[in-house]
Structure formats: C-alpha cells, structure tokens
Chains A and B, each alone.
Chain A
Amino acid sequence: MTTGQVTEALVELVTDTDWEDLPGNAREITRQTIGNAAALAVGAASHEAAETVVRTLRRLGRSGATGVLGRDERWSPFDAAALMGLAIHVEDFDDTHLPTVLHPGPVIVPAALAAALSCGEDGRRVARAVALGTEVAVRLGNGICPDHFDRGWHVTGTTGHVGAAVAAGVVLGLDPERLRHAIAIAATQAAGLTEALGTMTKALHPGRAAAHGVQAAVLAGRGLTGPDEPLIGPGSFAHLTSPRVDPAAMLAGAGHRWELELNAFKPYACGIVSHPVLDAAVSLRGAVGPDRIDRVEVVVNPVVLAVMGKTDPRSGLESKFSVYHCFAVGFLDGAGGPPEFSDARAVASDVRALRSRVNVVTTPEVPKGAAQVSVVDVDGREYRTDVTHATGSAERPMTAEQLSAKATALVRPVLGDRTAEFLERAFALDDEASPASWVELSSPSNDPDGVVS
C-alpha cells in the first residue's frame, strides 16, 4: 500500500476482509461493541434529546419502515440511524478507542444496523460492517489525532462519518469504486465541534454521522461520485481538519493489526478523561463524611480541564463535562451511571456543596489516564488515592461480567423480562438471522404481559 492513495488502500482493506478473516479477539470486541451500543440505544431511547428529535421528525412529516431499538415508531433508515446514534451517545456511557478518543459504537453500529434493516441483511453482515467501519474510522483518526481533536473537532462526528459510510456500504454490498465514492460523500459532510459538549448537539454528532453514512452509501449506490482521494491531500478531509496528517499511521499494519481491538467500554457516564477521578472518589468514599471535608485536591493532566472544566453545571448534560461533579457524585453516591449525571443531581445541594470544595491542578507530568486525589478533612487529616489506570482503560478493561451487568442495568427498566433474551442476541448479533426481529423485540409495546416489570 502506498500512503499517496489512502482511500484506495482502506477500501482494499474493507473489500478483502470477511468476518471470518478477523482474529478472534477482534470479533469479540466487535460483538461487545454491538451489545454495549444496543443496550445504550434501548436505555436512552426516551431521553429528552431523543424525544426532541422525534418531535422534529414528526414536524417534518417523516416516516418509514425501519425500526429503532427501544422505540415503537418506524422511520427511514437515515432517521433511524440518527435516532439510534443520538441515543447511544447521549449519556456519554458508550465506548472509546483510547488512542483517538473516538466513540465507534454510536456511529458505526446504527449505520450498519439501519442499513441492514432497510435491505434485510443478516447479523453476520452487520457484524462485519461494524468491524470494518470501526477499523476505517479509527485508522483515519490515528493519522490526525490528537491535533484534530485539540483543534476542536469532535472526532466521533468527523471520522465517524467515514466509518459509517463504510459500514453502510458493506451492508449494501457496494463495489470498491462505489465504496470510495460513499467515503467521499460522507467525508465532505464530516463535522462536529467539541464546543457542543454539554448540549444536545454533542449527541447529534454521531447521529448525523450515522445518518449521513447510510445516505452516502445510498447515493453512491445510485451513481453519485466525488473526488478520487477525498481523505488525503489539498482540499481533502484530513488536511482540512488537522495541522498534522500522518498517512502512514492510517495504514500501519493494516490487515494484520486490528485497531478496533483497542475499543474500550465506559464504566461511567461522563467524559472519559475524568474516569480516574471518579475511580478515586469511589475508593475514598467512607474515609470521611462529606460534611467534614475541608477541601479536595485533584491533580490531573491538562486535558482534563480542557474537556471537563465546567465548575458549576446546571444540567445533566453539562455535568458530564465537569470533573468537579464527577468527584462529587463518585464520593457521595459511589457510582457514575446515568442517574448520577441527571438534571436533578447536577443541581442537588449536597453535590454543589462538595463540588465547590474541589480544587483541580493540572500538570503534564500526570498521564491522561491517571489522577492523584487527596481529601483533606476539617482537622487537617489527608486521605489520598493515586489512580494510574482508570477502570475501562486498556490496562484495566471492563470484564465481560461488568459489561453484562452494565447492559442489564440499562435495558431492564425498559424491557423487563425480555432483557436477557435481548442482550443474549445483542452480544451475538453475528449469529442473528433476523436483526429485524431482534429490533422488534426491543419495542416497548412488544411486551407479552402488557407490563414492563
């Protein structure tokens, strides 16, 4: 492969790789990516942001035949992909390719699934599409991050567009030339600003990327063409959006080393760079009563304040980007799931009181995945915890049991007794003959007893 033809090389990687060609661990990570995303799609299907999008779609007169995980309505495959992508991402509880900080699940899974539902493809095709869409998105990210992200681009929304187009293109069976054009159609729309963190728009990024990915595959399938090399070179995606572009990093080891294996699953529903602080807060819980805390000293990498610097968030969405809030709920509640990042907890008096006593100091000497946290009580006693690798990191990944427990907690309130069957099929979607019937199982009205337990 030559670095001068990155798009062609990535297309070749996609068209040359069947599901069975992937190493066992890559297939397992793909299954987990799908299962984790599906659980989030169901768990957050009725989130306020999703309901807002549904009202908008209704106002636009939209409808269709494609189901959506966790909802009863049917939409076009574009809108179905957008809705699922938004729901999977809105709780900031999804997954992360740690080298790029890209969240593949909310972009690639809905694109592949919506495309499959629109044409009746089976689960194995979806799984292959998720694996290859993820691989392309994160490889593209490897060549431009962290500079791309540091500039303000939300990489999930940007390279996610390209990965979603690949995923949908694989499902729809595009030939190599049309797949290249699908990539181009998606790439020119690749967008998403990290200024949107803390607003509903952040979750719109993967939703729109997924929708545009499916749309790009459909348009390319009907003959729309773009530039031959949309990813690299003057006026093309990478050079427009990053001051540093490394084509070699995009292609290094392609076909032999699978970047998708670095996708990790989030134990907490907030920005990932705060996870070590949350780990520390949970571990310090009980050392001293919250009323006896004089101050909390947190030492972290500068990226933490750059992304998570909201000192007094006023909503659940904002609280997900507050390292102060992360410490407070970790210490007070001993957890960091969606309930701890609700609108109510964002403005709760006990949380606000503790947040106000958190001091954050940054230094590049502390790695991004680490934190040093000290709680000093009113008598001057200090309780300290150092976290070198957070739960959910590459060094301390969530176990299969932890991931299963997370998924169950998300899905059970919506699906009740159907939870086990739904998740069993979700985490083995590559064996699923009918993704449509699996999606149907997640419809809230599809409750055999008429009551969700």
Chain B
Amino acid sequence: MTVTEELTTALWERANDSGAPPDESLAVVLATGLTAAVLGRHADAVDLAVEVGAQYGGVGRSTVPGRYESLDPVAAATATGVAVTLGGLTVRDEALDLDALAPLTAAVWSVGTDRDRPLGEWLRALEAGLAAQRAIAAAMQPDHARDGWDASTTTAVLGCAYAAGHLVGCGPRDLAQVVGVAASQSLGMGSAVGTPLGLFHRGKAAAHAVLSAYLVEQGFTGSTRVLEAPRGWFAVMMGDASRAEGVVSGRSATDGLTLGSAGRGRASAPCSAAGMDQVMATASPSATAVAAALLDTLTRPGATASDLLTTLTEAKA
C-alpha cells in the first residue's frame, strides 16, 4: 500500500466508524475556531473577502459565522478563514510549529453549512483533517518552514481536503483524488506572512480544498498517489519524494495541541473545555460566553447545522 493509500484508508475508516462519539477535544477546537471567526468577522480584510465572494461567487447556504451574506462554500471558506485568522485565537502543535485553527474551521464550517450535515460529522471531518495535516507536517517540519514556506498554510490544503472530502461523502478512492486535486492547488509563500495578503492564506487553503472536494464529487479526476509520487507533493515541496515515508498514519488529531490567544492576555492552555475557558477569558469580554454556547451545541447528541446557526445568532445577541 502506498503512503497516500495508507493514510487515506486509515483516516476514512476512522471517520466512518460509527462507534464511539467524537472526542470532546474536537468540539473544543471547532468552538474555538468559530469564536475566533465571530471575533474577527468585521475586519476590513473579511469585508473584502465577502465583497468579492458575493460579487463573483455563487449564492449558497454558507456564510461567515456571525454575518448574514449568502455565499457559496468556496467563497465562505476564504472569508471565514480570514475571519478566524483575524480573531486572534490559535490551536497549535508546538512541536511542529503549526497553527491548524483557521483553515480547518473554515473548511468544516463552509461545507458543513452548505450540506447541512449533522454536527457529529463536522467533528469527524475535523478529526480527519487535523490528523492528516499533523501526520503530513510531521514528515516535513521544521525543514519546510526553514525553506521559507508558510507551513500552516501549505499543509492545511491537504488537511482541509480530507475534511471537505469527508463532508461531501467521499469513499477512500475519491478521498485520495480530492487530496490529489488539492495538492495541485497548494499555496503559502512565507514572504507574504505579515502582509495583508498573508491574512488570506489560511482561508484560501480551505477554499482550494473545498473546491477540490466538490470537483471530485462531480467526477473530476486527480492523482491517487500524490504524496509519494516522484513528481508529487513531497518532491515539489521538499525536493525529496522519499520524505513521504515519514508520514505516520495513526497520528492523533488533538493530542498535544495547545489553545492560544494572541490578544491582551496572550494565554495558552491545553486543548480542553477548561483550557478553552482560560484562553477565552483573555481574548475578549464576549468570547467566553460565545465559545461556551458553541461547545454546548457541538457536543449535544443529534445536533444539526441549524442548531449551530441558532446558537450563533443567540450568542451574537
């Protein structure tokens, strides 16, 4: 079995195992991401992303958390990613120097709302995306960032592909193709980080992955061995296709992740409900209540996308 096949099969089987409910830490991550989106939703860069998405995109059932414009899921992913980035919250894998919050929140949110998938599936998609991004990044970091790439963005394209692919209902082969199509839309120059353009990186990573999932759903074809191929992901990004052998399929989605705030308090805490409260207290006066309400909905058995939208509306009020 190739590296891509092994990783994809493992993630697909885990995401489609209807046994145990998703771990609460996944809901913590998503509640943190959605809270960040609410905090960042009115920034100028978000306005620009929404304006362009509304003018040139489609009319869909998605939007930016806390905003009202109807956007298609690709445009919503871009704008939501910008909003989360500007919300000032992070979910970091310190060992890999990776912040996975914005792109995965954007991908799961945009497809989840567009497809009205149960929230349990959102969390399984998030789990697949996080596990994939960390597994791939583990085979690339720290060299990849040293080379000058924005590693949290480049690897997010692939993580988001797994998440979006799950939410559109891909089987293992189609899931590998989503990753193949997405890998050909990688992005993330390190030199853009710190400029206004850099604020768009994580949202664009999510958007490219979401588009890839929708394309494959309609029959579009891509490589099914994109990680390890001689001219595949690791070859172009690392100059060495054999680095793909470092991808470990069984990696946990959330073990060792740290929640953080770049706001006044600059707090960090473990990825748990208590940790989230601790971080939110330093983020903004309203963040704690919003995050708690979101976490409550995300962990409620049988909750739907509509429930989450209601929670967001009430939390804003």
Contact = CB atoms under 8 A, between A and B. Distances in A.
A60 B58 contact: yes
Given A188-B188, A201-B184, A219-B48, A62 B218 contact: no
A14 interface: no
B3 to A, nearest CB: 13
A225 B196 CA distance: 6
A224 B196 contact: yes
* A55, A77, A227: residue with the most chain B Cβ atoms closer than 10 Å: A227
Interface in B198-257: 198, 200-201, 204, 211, 214-215, 217-223, 225-226, 229-233, 235-236, 239
Interface in A201-250: 201, 204-205, 208, 215, 218-219, 222-227, 229-230, 233-237, 239-241, 243
Contact of B195 (A49, A52, A78, A227): A227
Nearest to B241: A152
A293 interface: no
Given A188-B187, A230-B191, A233-B191, A61 B58 contact: yes
A245 B204 CA distance: 27
A56 B214 contact: yes
B265 interface: no
A189 B184 CA distance: 10
B60 A218 contact: no
B181 interface: yes
A388 B64 CA distance: 59
Interface string B47-63: 01001100111111000
Nearest to B58: A61
B220 to A, nearest CB: 5
A166 interface: no
B201 A60 contact: no
B219 A52 contact: yes
Interface residues of A, number: 62
Given A193-B233, A199-B222, A205-B184, A188 B189 contact: yes
A230 B236 contact: no
A227 B192 contact: yes
Nearest to A48: B219
Nearest to B223: A195
Contacts of A199: 180, 221-223
B52 A222 contact: yes
B23 interface: no
A60 B57 contact: yes
Contacts of A225: 195-197
Contacts of B132: none
A61 B148 contact: no
B185 A226 contact: no
Interface in B140-158: 147-149
Contact of B48 (A49, A223, A239): A223
B231 A236 contact: no
A292 interface: no
B282 interface: no
Given A61-B72, A200-B221, A239 B148 contact: yes
A304 interface: no
B218 A193 contact: no
Contacts of B236: 151-153, 193, 241
Interface string B174-193: 00000011011111111111
Contact of A194 (B191, B192, B231): B231
B185 A191 contact: yes
A230 B218 contact: no
A343 to B, nearest CB: 12
A233 B219 CA distance: 39
A189 B153 CA distance: 11
Contacts of A243: 239
Contact of A59 (B195, B196, B214): B214
* A61, A62, A200, A205: residue with the most chain B Cβ atoms closer than 10 Å: A61
A439 B200 CA distance: 33
B101 interface: no
Contacts of B214: 56, 59-60
A240 to B, nearest CB: 5
Nearest to A62: B58
Contact of A236 (B184, B191, B219, B239): B191
A144 interface: no
Interface string B24-50: 000000000000000000000100100
A77 B220 contact: no
Nearest to A152: B231
B73 interface: yes
A235 B211 CA distance: 26
A348 interface: no
B218 A52 contact: yes
Interface string B73-113: 11000000000000000000000000000000000000000
B189 A187 contact: yes
Nearest to A227: B191
Contacts of A191: 184-187
A169 interface: no
* A49, A194, A219, A235: residue with the most chain B Cβ atoms closer than 10 Å: A235
Contacts of A193: 183-184, 223, 226, 231-233, 236
Interface string A57-90: 1011111100000000000111100000000000
A226 B229 contact: no
A157 interface: yes
B10 to A, nearest CB: 21
Contacts of A78: 56
Contacts of B189: 187-188, 227, 230, 235-237, 240
Interface of B: 45, 48, 51-52, 55-60, 72-74, 147-149, 180-181, 183-193, 195-198, 200-201, 204, 211, 214-215, 217-223, 225-226, 229-233, 235-236, 239
Given A77-B56, A195-B232, 4 more contacts: A56-B214, A61-B59, A215-B52, A230-B191
7 contacts: A152-B236, A188-B188, A188-B189, A191-B185, A199-B223, A234-B191, A317-B221
Q: Which 6 pairs from chain A and chain B are nearest by CB?
A: A61-B58, A235-B190, A152-B231, A226-B197, A235-B148, A235-B191
